[in-house]
Amino acid sequence: MTVEIRQATEEELAEQQQVLGYVFANTSIGGEAPPFTLRPEWSMCAFVDGKMATSGGAWPFRVRLNGTSVAMAGVTMVGTLPEFRRQGLLRQVMGKLLSDARDNGQAIAILWASMGAIYQRYGYGLASSFVTYDVDPREILFAAGEPATGRVRITPREEAQPINEAIYKEFNRPRNLLIQRAPAMWAAHYQEQGSKLQFGVYDNAAGETTGYVVFGLQQDSGVPGRGQKISVNDWAALDADAYRGIWEFFASHDLVGRVEWQRVPPDDPAPLLFLEPGRLSQRTHDAIWMRITDVEAALPQRPYGDADAVTLGIRDQMCPWNEGTYVLETTGEATQVTKVATDADLTMPAASLAVLVSGHRSATTLARAGLLDAGNPKALDKADRLFATRYAPWCNDGF
């Protein structure tokens, strides 16, 4: 058996899509390939005796990390045909993807996981979550605050998209783990997804457009009356007025029985605003998994919550160049990281470092879970302050 780990050629991209189609039950091998593909130079696959057995790749993203734009590898299209599983092929593909990301200046890799257990083996840590709401529009009632000053207006896609892109750019800037969308991502977001998408933009009392919402409106059941459903696809609100205006807009749909809002950030304010927060039927889900490909390069790239220093010991078998102890010294904005030969204040595996860097969980929480060892217990408070983020990590884009 001959195994090759390499990029796919242009001619092999269709085969890659067919492998993925089988793995995720989207299409059968030999069937029609999905319309979106990686470029060959972004792919990494395993071939066994000339046949593609494992697919993988990584988009070259720019992602906000506590408000700063950071190059990240968006790992995607990962799957192995069943007859080639349990042979270490994915480990080889993932190892090459991670080393290439490091060489390409992407000190962090991120992905959505179909099974988290797969990626934890390779040093990924859960770096974010999201919430879903499922609410009856008649239950959109607020406990306090002023009604929105403006209104949402339904707008043709051709008019709405440039408005939405401008709002999203401003909305994105201070946030944490939101992707800076390329044109192809905007196009993918606004495809029809089982129903015709509607485009609403919010204008405040001054006539300024400060929010938008993209959603599907469809018949949810055969029951006459309130059998329609709204499914939120994308949104952004630049202030509390626009955010409330979007909710009030949903409440005005008399024939809608359900508003299904997917991928809500975990620090979303709706539970604080609703008269009956339980009516949101909140459910929390795993979201982005993160992997540090280069500790020394990754740590200086995000702002920190305070000016201080902490010494971190990192264990990393998958990326052995990360093994070691690092002194992180920061003013909050400017950070220097130096590899040293001293004892660490805090010691952790690479997966825990990713959780900490994203701001998804604090050092104290990781220590309570046994996922971080505090050689210096006082350093936990210090790390909690340093790694705090303004916004909870959240990603609204699938990839």
Do 264 and 364 lie in one domain? The reply is no
- What is the per-residue pLDDT for 192? 55
- In sequence order, the 6+-apart residues with CB closer than 8 A to the CB of 122 are 91, 94, 95, 98, 291, 318
- What is the per-residue pLDDT for 35? 45
Residue 138 lies in a domain: yes
Do 251 and 159 lie in one domain? The reply is yes
- What is the per-residue pLDDT for 227? 87
> Which DSSP letter does residue 147 get?
P
Measured CA to CA, the distance from residue 290 to residue 308 in angstroms comes to 25
- Can you give the pLDDT of all 399 residues of the chain as single tens digits? 899 999 999 999 999 989 998 998 875 444 344 445 689 999 999 999 999 999 999 999 999 999 999 999 999 999 999 999 999 999 999 999 999 999 999 999 999 999 999 999 999 999 999 999 999 999 999 998 899 999 999 999 999 999 999 999 999 999 999 999 998 888 877 775 545 899 999 999 999 999 999 999 988 765 567 889 999 999 999 999 999 999 999 999 999 999 999 999 999 999 999 999 999 999 999 999 999 999 999 999 999 999 999 999 999 999 999 999 999 999 999 999 999 999 999 999 999 999 999 999 999 999 999 999 999 889 999 999 999 999 999 999 999
Range of the domain at 100: 3-106
- Looking up residue 330, the CATH number of its domain turns out to be 3.30.1050.10
Dihedral through CA 229, CA 230, CA 233, CA 237, nearest 10?
Answer: -160
Q: Which of 47, 73, 106 is the last residue of a domain?
A: 106
- What is the per-residue pLDDT for 195? 53
Do 273 and 307 lie in one domain? The reply is no
Residue 122 lies in a domain: no
Residue 318 lies in a domain: yes
Do 265 and 316 lie in one domain? The reply is no
Residue 125 lies in a domain: no
What are the structure tokens assigned to 381, written together? 């408070």
Do 368 and 241 lie in one domain? The reply is no
Could you tell me if 143 and 195 are in contact, meaning their C-beta atoms sit under 8 angstroms apart? no
Q: Which of 221, 256, 282 is the last residue of a domain?
A: 282
347, exposed or middle or buried, with CB in 10 Å at 0-12, 13-18, 19+? middle
Residue 123 lies in a domain: no
Residue 111 lies in a domain: no
- What is the per-residue pLDDT for 33? 40
Residue 288 lies in a domain: no
The enclosing H or E element of 19 equals helix 13-23
Residues 297-334 as b/e (b if ≥16 CB within 10 A, e otherwise) read bbbebbbbbeebebbbbbbbebbeebebbbbbebeeee
Measured CA to CA, the distance from residue 26 to residue 257 in angstroms comes to 30
What are the structure tokens assigned to 84, written together? 């080639």
Do 275 and 143 lie in one domain? The reply is yes
Q: Which of 226, 249, 282 is the last residue of a domain?
A: 282
What are the structure tokens assigned to 91, written together? 């480990």
Do 138 and 267 lie in one domain? The reply is yes
Do 147 and 94 lie in one domain? The reply is no
- In sequence order, the 6+-apart residues with CB closer than 8 A to the CB of 208 are none
- Looking up residue 268, the CATH number of its domain turns out to be 3.40.630.30
- In sequence order, the 6+-apart residues with CB closer than 8 A to the CB of 347 are 312, 313, 314, 315, 372, 373, 375
Could you tell me if 31 and 10 are in contact, meaning their C-beta atoms sit under 8 angstroms apart? no
**Strands, DSSP E only, in 220-354?**
228-237, 256-264, 283-286, 288-292, 308-315, 324-330, 335-340, 346-349
Do 254 and 157 lie in one domain? The reply is yes
Measured CA to CA, the distance from residue 131 to residue 126 in angstroms comes to 15
3: β partners: 48
Do 248 and 162 lie in one domain? The reply is yes
Residue 117 lies in a domain: no
Do 20 and 99 lie in one domain? The reply is yes
Do 150 and 202 lie in one domain? The reply is yes
Q: How many domains does the chain have?
A: 3
Could you tell me if 25 and 68 are in contact, meaning their C-beta atoms sit under 8 angstroms apart? no
pTM for the full predicted model: 0.93
384: β partners: none
Helix (DSSP H) and strand (DSSP E) numbers for the chain: 11, 19
> Which DSSP letter does residue 124 get?
-
Rounded to a whole number of angstroms, the CA Rg of the chain reads 23
